[in-house]
Amino acid sequence: MIRRLFLLLVATALGAAEPARPFYGARPGALEKAKAAASDESVAKALRKLLGDADKALAVIPPSVMQKTKVPPSGDKHDYMSIAPYYWPDPATKDGLPYQRKDGKVNPESRDEAANDTLRARLVGASVETLALGYYFSGDEKYAEHAAKILRTWFLDPATKMTPHFRFAQAVPGVNDGRGTGILEARGLADAADAAILLAGSKHWSAADQQALLAWGATYFEWLTTSKNGQDEHAAKNNHGTWYDVQAAKWALVLGRKDKAQEICAEAATRRIGVQIQPDGKQPLELSRTASFSYSCFNLRALSALAGLGEHAGVDLWKHRSADGRSLIAALEFLAPYLGKNPKPWTMQQIHESNDDDVLPVLRAAAIATGDERYESLLKEYPDHRSKRLQLLAPR
């Protein structure tokens, strides 16, 4: 504990080198503000939690698509592959084919790491972001060194790297060998590529490494925006379409394509908010799911993340309101009575517990965007809100 507090104080004075561009996973200027306030109680608890998480991430064995034992339809293990989580063998057929959908019920087969890269991709995003932020705030090279190892293993090293496409993601056995919906599983990779900039100045991550990562990203972005799977996901009207936009906009910003990011965020006003949210704030396509509350929060989190990227791209999605009242605030207001320490009972279908981490960043973003302290007050009803990373990525 003493060592961590010492690192925080050092970070306030020195820290890692300032990145050459913003970290798009945070509000503009947020990390600099949090670093300057490292000793303030408003961010100190979150910084301690971050460094604790970074210490744990040091134990992560760098994930690789080569770690699976089964081979994708292409015959190349460098290709990402996974099985659709909500599809199960058909008990009426001898071979179980074709698989049948059971919304909200995860088939354990889709989490079997012998055939699925799903959890590995998720771990890449979470680990690199945590380690890179740990390096940014502490200046400790051990975090940068391990983040660089994970990045090189997944994106760069010829023996272990992933081919930049998601052609074989979320396959439905007996139906297809991959679908556009599988692109949802790629969102952590954009987070990792974004966080790599925080390693600027480290002896473990060179300019050549950064350029190689951007080259990988450029190839992936081309596939994402032109392939059939990518176009199918772009056309999705529910949370899949929103998360597609989040990925595409973040990759565009990382690659220096601010014009493209601006286009994606601007179109979201009508393409996402105008289609997904009713004037009363309901999200019909999410409410139709077996976990209706969770999916309503999940899509609102995606919309809020897209609005955050819009801040970097010069588009204000928080202020957008259609003529008949469709807006991010309307969606949040619909959900607000069901949040906090004394929530109103949810009466629609919800087959499992929801995730608070889907709504807490939205409350902080809404409070900052609107100046309405009701959202901040609601956030404070959650006992662990001070330790959440939002205190660093979007400090008040």
Helix (H, G, I), strand (E, B) or coil at 140: coil
Q: What is the pLDDT of residue 149?
A: 98
**What's the pTM value of the predicted model, to 2 decimals?**
0.94
Query: Is the same domain home to 74 and 206?
Result: yes
Q: Give yes or no for residue 11 having a pLDDT over 60.
A: no
Does 25 map to a domain? no
pLDDT 10s digits, 362-382: 999 999 999 999 999 999 999
- Bridge partners for 83 per DSSP: 171
Question: CB–CB of 294/352 below 8 Å?
Answer: yes
Q: What is the pLDDT of residue 20?
A: 79
Does 46 map to a domain? no
Query: Is the same domain home to 297 and 378?
Result: yes
Query: Is the same domain home to 315 and 328?
Result: yes
Q: What is the pLDDT of residue 19?
A: 75
Last residue of a domain, one of 178, 206, 235: 235
Question: CB–CB of 82/169 below 8 Å?
Answer: yes
Q: How confident is the model at residue 15 (pLDDT cuts 50, 70, 90)?
A: low
Q: What is the CA radius of gyration of the chain?
A: 21
Q: Which two tokens stand for residue 350?
A: 């919800």
Query: Is the same domain home to 257 and 220?
Result: no
Query: Is the same domain home to 183 and 308?
Result: no
Query: Is the same domain home to 262 and 384?
Result: yes
pLDDT 10s digits, 304-324: 999 999 999 999 999 999 999
User: Quick one: average pLDDT of 341-352?
Assistant: 97
Query: Is the same domain home to 1 and 71?
Result: yes
Number of domains in the chain: 2
Query: Is the same domain home to 353 and 215?
Result: no
Q: What is the pLDDT of residue 1?
A: 38
Interhelix angle 187-195/239-254, rounded to 10 degrees, is 20
DSSP readout, 42-105? HHHHHHHHHHHHHHHHTTPPPP-GGG-SS--TTS-TTS-EEE-TTEE--TTSTT-PSPEE-TT-
Q: Which two tokens stand for residue 231?
A: 């176009």
Does 344 map to a domain? yes
pLDDT 10s digits, 40-63: 988 999 999 999 999 999 999 999
Query: Is the same domain home to 383 and 257?
Result: yes
Does 292 map to a domain? yes
Does 253 map to a domain? yes
Interhelix angle 141-151/207-226, rounded to 10 degrees, is 40
Last residue of a domain, one of 235, 253, 268: 235
The helix (run of H) or strand (run of E) holding residue 128 is helix 118-138
Does 34 map to a domain? no
User: Quick one: average pLDDT of 2-10?
Assistant: 39
Query: Is the same domain home to 129 and 217?
Result: yes
* Distance between CA atoms of residues 64 and 70, nearest Å: 13
User: Quick one: average pLDDT of 152-177?
Assistant: 98
Residue 298 CA: distances (Å) to CA of 169, 293, 354: 20, 9, 9
User: Quick one: average pLDDT of 317-336?
Assistant: 98
Query: Is the same domain home to 258 and 192?
Result: no
Domain that holds residue 166: 1-18+53-235
Specify the CATH number for the domain of residue 392. 1.50.10.100
pLDDT 10s digits, 115-158: 999 999 999 999 999 999 999 999 999 999 999 999 999 999 99
Last residue of a domain, one of 214, 235, 256: 235
Query: Is the same domain home to 391 and 269?
Result: yes
Instruction: Find how far residue 286's CA is from the centre of its chain.
Output: 18
Q: Which amino acid is at 260?
A: K
Does 300 map to a domain? yes
Mean pLDDT of the chain: 95
